[in-house]
Amino acid sequence: MSAKILIVDDSALSRRTLRRILETAGYDVVEADDGMTALEVYFLEKPNLVLLDLVMKGMYGLDVLVKLREMDPNALVVVASADVQSSTRKMVDEAGALAFINKPFTSEPVIAAVEAALAEGAPSETN
């Protein structure tokens, strides 16, 4: 069974690009275009992993990350953003993200981050 991945990004282009990369690699994909929708979709779809943009209209990605981790302490989240500041990365790490991938997206780093995050989360799923 392939892993289900939730893409959270307010950019339709970014969601399309990630969907193409992930589906080509055999993953199931669900999408949300803002933070509130992301929390609903996470609750309903129970994805194995979330790819989360930071800068979105409405709820900022870091707030979504904190809420996801409150809802599910075992949530696997990879942040996908064009923001490469070290202070941003530090906040993201402290909030519980497993990895950080940069925009614009290319297949290799996205798949590598997804596979590593899923592998990191695998032991807790077997309990």
In a domain? residue 38: yes
Q: With 80 as the cut, is the pLDDT of residue 109 above it?
A: yes
Domain assignment of residue 34, yes or no: yes
Q: Which two tokens stand for residue 33?
A: 């275009």
Among the residue ranges 18-32, 42-56, 87-101, 104-118, the one predicted with the least confidence is 87-101
Q: How confident is the model at residue 122 (pLDDT cuts 50, 70, 90)?
A: low
User: Please, are residues 62 and 92 in contact by the beta-carbon 8 Å criterion?
Assistant: yes
Confidence of residue 1 (pLDDT cuts 50, 70, 90): low
Name the domain count of the chain: 1
Asked whether residue 68 is domain-assigned, the answer is yes
DSSP one-letter string for the chain: -PPEEEEE-S-HHHHHHHHHHHHHTT-EEEEESSHHHHHHHHHHH--SEEEE-SS-SSS-HHHHHHHHHHH-TT--EEEEES---HHHHHHHHHTT-SEEEESSP-HHHHHHHHHHHHHHHHHHHT-
User: 27 in a domain, yes or no?
Assistant: yes
CATH label of the domain that carries residue 10: 3.40.50.2300
pLDDT for 84? 72
User: Per the domain annotation, does 74 fall within a domain?
Assistant: yes
CA distance 114 to 46: 16
Domain ranges, residue 34: 4-122
Asked if the structure places residue 127 within a domain, the reply is no
